[in-house]
Amino acid sequence: MTDTTEQRVELLWGQKIQTRDGTRLNATLYKPRVMDKPLPVIFTLTPYIADSYHARAMYFAEHGYVFALVDVRGRGNSDGGFVPCRHDAADGHDVAEWLATQPFCDGKVAMWGGSHGGFDQWATLSQFPPHLATIVPAAAAYPGVDFPFWRNIAFSFEVQWQTFVSGRVSNANLFNEQSYWIGVFRDYYLNHHAFKDLDQIAGNPNPHFQADLRHPAPDDHWDSLAPTDAQFAAFDLPILSITGHYDDNQPGAMHFYRQHLQRATPEAQDKHYLLIGPWDHAGTRTPQPEFGGLAFGAAALVDLNKLHQDWYDWTMKDGPKPEFLQKRVTYYVTGSEEWKRADSLDAIPAERRKLYLASINGWANDVFQSGMMLAAPTTEHDQIMSDSYTYDPMDTRPAELEREDIQKDYIVSQRYALNLYGNGLVYHSEPLAEATEIVGYVKFEAWISMDAPDTDFMVTLAEILPDGRHILLTQDMLRARYRESLRREALVEAGEINRYVFDGFYWFARRLAQGSRLRLILRCPNSIYIQKNYNGGGVVAEETGADARVAHVTLHHDSEHPTFLEIPVAKG
């Protein structure tokens, strides 16, 4: 039998790239076996060990590129000590310039990667390596925006992630052992430990986790990891940003995008493209047909390897512009299951509509006796112009719903919407007279009083289909002490009515069905997956059950305190 196997890729192992401070980073190079001339080089800088991206490297090497998998310092076979995000800007610059000088490179270098790898692309760009031709950041985490907290509220997941990148080996099996992590998070939650002890509960005391807790809000520590305003203004190369409706790092990816667009020259803006799919975090690199129980149309399954290849061909090989990217913004509309395009986010035709909250006799405490969202403020139901609920941080009943991985049916689910345990308020709109497309960012402005100095709020917006199914659309959170500014604390005075602006919702686009209703839920988050605020007003990461205070929360919606949801309804 004749062996017809063709070996099309050549590997160069253990390539050492010396950075400016003498640290040697390890790279694995994937080259087309037959090279008639030097080629552009694509590299990813990763803390997740080079081998994890083997399939990507093979793909691009088989399609006319050299691909370099580079371990960040302190991980894999790279020298030095790992500190999340701290060295990646300078190291990324040095890697790009080393690759550009190699005989297999034609002088053009690009980057690939998502999540931490998306951050690394922006960090590298901030150092302006002369040979960097383009970046394609997917699901890019932005320090101080969505890593290691979102809206200044931390997630238990950070300890899971810090364990993933501890030491030099992969740790992928431990990272993905969800039953173990649910057990760790339940231990922390059920025993009312301080959040700062979570790393010890996980069996991995971690200095980086502890350092992060000393900076619980955006400050100079986090600012120093991101590009400066001047750097954003100077970025002038082709960029393709990618995120998803349900991407955990959508806030960061969109913040990078907006920061650049707000400061860039018109010429640079024209080179920045944005792709928003119906995907979760992993789906921004490998789209799946469903997430959290919500199925997507076949159009959602974009071949992102091929799109990257087309982008690199266009920006580095004088190929044609990718046909898929007809305009600078490409976004997917669930419900109608189609892609749409616009010249910018602001150019998407939409009308801002307000829905005002109201209730009958203060009944708004569950989905069966809910409040209303009305097209205009009204005094028709003005016997009681406020609604109230009680949040007890010592209540651990919600943990009974979190004994398994909630991602299986998190988006399409009734379990989490129907079990408020008295902690929250619910409002419904009227059934839609016709199918309605909502596209963009929603905003919720609320007037709230309470008798505790602090607590956390979560606002969830969902579509309730005529058959009763609950589909999560978007959500936001806000810690009461940061209601005036995410950078400045101001504890709450008991009984004082304060304005809360929830403007950190995830961007989404969905065609709601005729007869559907919108459901808005305001509650205090009480979950094993979220840092517990015991409402004591002290350092939240240090609080335990001993500091717990019950919060009696009142939402006001009278003429002097109009509480409303603002939604962007697509035109045409």
User: Do residues 193 and 273 both lie within one domain?
Assistant: no
User: Do residues 75 and 197 both lie within one domain?
Assistant: no
User: Do residues 406 and 436 both lie within one domain?
Assistant: yes
Looking at the structure of the chain, the number of domains it has is 3
Cβ–Cβ < 8 Å for 479, 531: no
Task: Give a yes or no: residue 28 inside a domain.
Answer: yes
> What local confidence, expressed as pLDDT, does residue 2 receive?
45
Question: What is the C-alpha to C-alpha distance for residues 470 and 459, in angstroms, rounded to an integer?
Answer: 15
Cβ–Cβ < 8 Å for 14, 36: no
Backbone angles phi, psi at 305, to 5 degrees: -60, -45
User: Do residues 562 and 490 both lie within one domain?
Assistant: yes
Task: Give a yes or no: residue 455 inside a domain.
Answer: yes
Q: How far is CA 560 from CA 357, 379, 492, in A?
A: 13, 12, 20
User: Do residues 250 and 284 both lie within one domain?
Assistant: yes
User: Do residues 371 and 356 both lie within one domain?
Assistant: yes
User: Do residues 227 and 141 both lie within one domain?
Assistant: yes
User: Do residues 290 and 165 both lie within one domain?
Assistant: no
Mapped onto helix, strand or coil, the DSSP state of residue 28 is strand
Nearest to 116 by CA among 149, 142, 82, 78: 142
446 bridge partner residues: 500
Among 186, 213, 240, residue at a domain's last position: 213
341 bridge partner residues: 330
Which amino acid appears at position 23 of this protein? T
Task: Give a yes or no: residue 452 inside a domain.
Answer: yes
Among 342, 365, 388, residue at a domain's last position: 342
Cβ–Cβ < 8 Å for 444, 566: yes
Which amino acid appears at position 29 of this protein? L
Cβ–Cβ < 8 Å for 140, 115: yes
Task: Give a yes or no: residue 2 inside a domain.
Answer: no
User: Do residues 160 and 131 both lie within one domain?
Assistant: no
Buried/exposed code over 221-247 (b: 16+ C-beta within 10 A; e: otherwise): ebeebbbeeebbbbbeebbbbbbbbbb
Task: Give a yes or no: residue 536 inside a domain.
Answer: yes
- The CATH number that applies at residue 300 is 3.40.50.1820
- Local confidence pLDDT in tens for the 572 residues of the chain: 444 557 899 999 999 999 999 999 999 999 999 999 999 999 999 999 999 999 999 999 999 999 999 999 999 999 999 999 999 999 999 999 999 999 999 999 999 999 999 999 999 999 999 999 999 999 999 999 999 999 999 999 999 999 999 999 999 999 999 999 999 999 999 999 999 999 999 999 999 999 999 999 999 999 999 999 999 999 999 999 999 999 999 999 999 999 999 999 999 999 999 999 999 999 999 999 999 999 999 999 999 999 999 999 999 999 999 999 999 999 999 999 999 999 999 999 999 999 999 999 889 999 989 999 999 987 765 568 999 999 999 999 988 877 765 556 778 875 555 677 889 999 999 999 999 999 999 999 999 999 999 999 999 999 999 999 999 999 999 999 999 999 999 999 999 999 999 999 999 999 999 999 999 999 999 999 999 999 999 999 999 999 999 999 999 999 999 999 999 999 87
Task: Give a yes or no: residue 477 inside a domain.
Answer: yes
User: Do residues 264 and 191 both lie within one domain?
Assistant: no
Check the CA dihedral 443-407-427-349 and report its sign: positive
Task: Identify the H or E element spanning 349.
Answer: none
User: Do residues 472 and 542 both lie within one domain?
Assistant: yes
Q: Tokens for 238?
A: 């082709």
Question: What is the C-alpha to C-alpha distance for residues 363 and 124, in angstroms, rounded to an integer?
Answer: 53
Q: For 419-441, give the DSSP string.
A: --TT--EEEEEPPPSS-EEEEE-
Task: Give a yes or no: residue 1 inside a domain.
Answer: no
Show the domain range for 294.
9-145+220-342
Q: Tokens for 313?
A: 């061909």
Task: Give a yes or no: residue 256 inside a domain.
Answer: yes
> What local confidence, expressed as pLDDT, does residue 405 receive?
58
- The CATH number that applies at residue 417 is 2.60.120.260
> What local confidence, expressed as pLDDT, does residue 1 receive?
41
User: Do residues 403 and 263 both lie within one domain?
Assistant: no
Q: For 366-381, give the DSSP string.
A: SSSS-EEEESS---TT
Among 175, 195, 213, residue at a domain's last position: 213
Question: What is the C-alpha to C-alpha distance for residues 113 and 168, in angstroms, rounded to an integer?
Answer: 20
